[in-house]
Amino acid sequence: MGRCIYGGIYDPGNPLSDANGFRKDVISALKELDVPVIRYPGGNFCATYHWQDGIGPREKRPSRPELAWLGTETNQFGTDEFMQWLDVLSEGLPEGQRVEPYICLNMGTGTLDEALAWVEYCNGTRDTYYANLRRANGHEAPYKVKYWALGNEVWGPWQIEQMTAEDYARKAAQWAKALRLLDPDLVLILCGCDGTQSWDHTVLQVCVPVVDMHSIHVYTAAGTSHLKNVTAPLAAERAIRITASLIELARIERAVPVSKPPTKICFDEWNVWDPERAPGDKGAEELYTLSDALAVAVWLNVFVRQSRYIGMANIAQTVNVISPLMTTKDGIVKQSTWWPLLLFSRYMRGWTVATHVRVGAYDGETQPGWLQGALEDGAPWLDVSASVDDQGYVSLAVVNISETEDFDVEIRGVVGKDVSVYAVNAPQVTATNTEGKEEVSLAEEKWNGEGGSYKFPKHSFTMLRWKSSQS
C-alpha cells in the first residue's frame, strides 16, 4: 500500500539503502522500537496477492494490477526479500531471538492449495516441491514462520470475495484443518471484525476449537475535535472486553478442553487514521498532530490495561502509510506519534501494575457516538497505565487529555528520589513534525519525588520511571 515497501523499507538506488535495497535509516529507526513481529504482505492487499509472483529471479517476476488500492504490484519485493529484511532487522538481538514474521493468507482470490504451498515454501524440511523451490532460490534452511492469518477483513464490502460470517467460518475451519496437517506448530489467527459485531460471535462459535488467536481491527479519528480524538481509543478497550467475553463464551459452548491454551486477541491493525484526511488510494500518508500522538498514547495505555487478553498488537503501518515514520529521499521524519510508541516499546515491559485514578472526567460527545453511553462516569482527564519489569523498574504512563488544564496530583507508590521523567508535548494540539521542522518532541528530566505530587501539563503525555524498593 502506498510507499510502505517501495520507497519505504525497500528503495534500491537510493544512497541511504544497503546492497539489498533496504533503507538503512528505516532499519536503524525500527531497531529503536525493538519490534517483536511484523505482518506481511498487508491487509486488503492480500485478497489479490499471489505469493509465487514474488519469488525467483526479479527480471522474471510479473507486474500485476493491485485492486485494493488500485495500484500496480511489481513483485520486486516478495517472501524471500521480506525474510532477508527481517534478518537484517534482527541483527544484534540476543541469540535465539529475532523479529518474527507474520503472514496473512489470501482468502479472496487465493486457494487452499496456494496457502499450503506458501507454508511448505516457508517451513518445509522434507524433499518436497515447494521446500526444494525455496532451496533452489538460495535459502536452504526453512524460515520457520509461526504466525499465519486466515484472511483479512473478509467481512468488508471493499474486499475482493467478500463473505458472510457463516461462509467464512466454514472455509476457515477447513483451511485450519489442512494447514495443521502440513505443519502442526502453526499459530493460526482467525479473521474477526472490530470486536463489537455479531460477525465475531458467529466465526468464533465455529472456529474457536481450531485457531489460536482472533483478529480485530479498529482505527480511530475525530477530525478537528481534540477530545473526541483522544478518547476514541477507549472504544477499542470496550472492543477488547467484548471480544474476550465472546471467546470465553465460544470456548465454553464448544467444550474446548482446558489443555488448549487460551485463545488470545490479535489486534493486528490499529492506529489513528482519518481516511478523508489521508485517503487510502492516494497512499494514506497522514500528517500527525500532537492530538494524534496523545491518542496513540491512550491506545497504548489500553493495550497495557487489557494485556491479559492480548496475544499480539500491530500498529498499521511500518513506514509512510499512516505511520509514525516517514521517508524522504534524504532521510526520515519521526512524526508526533513516534514518541509515545518509542517510550512504550522501550520501557513498558514485564507485568501490568493496577492503577487507581481519582480525577475529573470528560463526559461530552465521543467518536464513535456509542462510547459516550458506555463510559458511565466519563473519560478521566488523566488516562493511565503502569508496568514493572524484571529489574524492578516501574513505568507509569499518563496522558493528560485536557486541552486547557494542568493537573497537580498525588502519586502514591513512588519510592526514592531518582525518578526519570519523559514528556511529549507542544504549544498546541495541532502541532506537527515535518522535514526540517520538529514541533512535537521528547523532553527528559529528573524528579526527586519529594512531596509525592506531580503536575501533568495540559495536552501532554508523561512517563515516570523509577526503581521499586520491592525488587
Give me the active site residues, please: 153, 269
Instruction: Answer yes or no: are the C-beta atoms of 424 and 293 closer than 8 Å.
Output: yes
Dihedral-angle region of residue 378 (phi above 0 means left; psi in -120 to 50 means alpha; beta otherwise): left
Amino acid at 126: R
DSSP 308: G
Alpha helices in 254-334 (DSSP H): 290-305
Exposure string of 395-415, with b = 16+ CB inside 10 Å and e = fewer, is: bbbbbbbbeeeebebebeebe
CB atoms within 10 A of CB 259: 5
CB atoms within 10 A of CB 281: 12
Instruction: Tell which residue, 65, 80, 69, 150, has the closest CA to residue 115.
Output: 150
Q: Phi, psi (5° rounding) for residue 170?
A: -60, -45
Residue 45 to residue 77: CA distance in whole angstroms: 14
Residue 102 to residue 400: CA distance in whole angstroms: 35
The Cβ-side half-sphere exposure at 464, using a 13 Å CA radius, reads 24
- The C-alpha R_g of the chain, in whole angstroms, comes to 23
Contacts with 276 (C-beta within 8 Å, 6 or more apart), sequence order: none
Q: Is the dihedral of CA 41, 434, 34, 134 positive or negative?
A: positive
Instruction: Tell which residue, 352, 467, 461, has the closest CA to residue 414.
Output: 467
C-alpha cell at 363: 463526559
Instruction: Tell which residue, 385, 354, 396, 382, has the closest CA to residue 456.
Output: 382
C-alpha cell at 6: 517501495
Residue-level length of the chain: 471
Three-class SS of residue 338?
helix
Residue 62 to residue 76: CA distance in whole angstroms: 9
Burial class (CB in 10 A: 0-12, 13-18, 19+), 189: buried
Instruction: Answer yes or no: are the C-beta atoms of 20 and 88 closer than 8 Å.
Output: yes
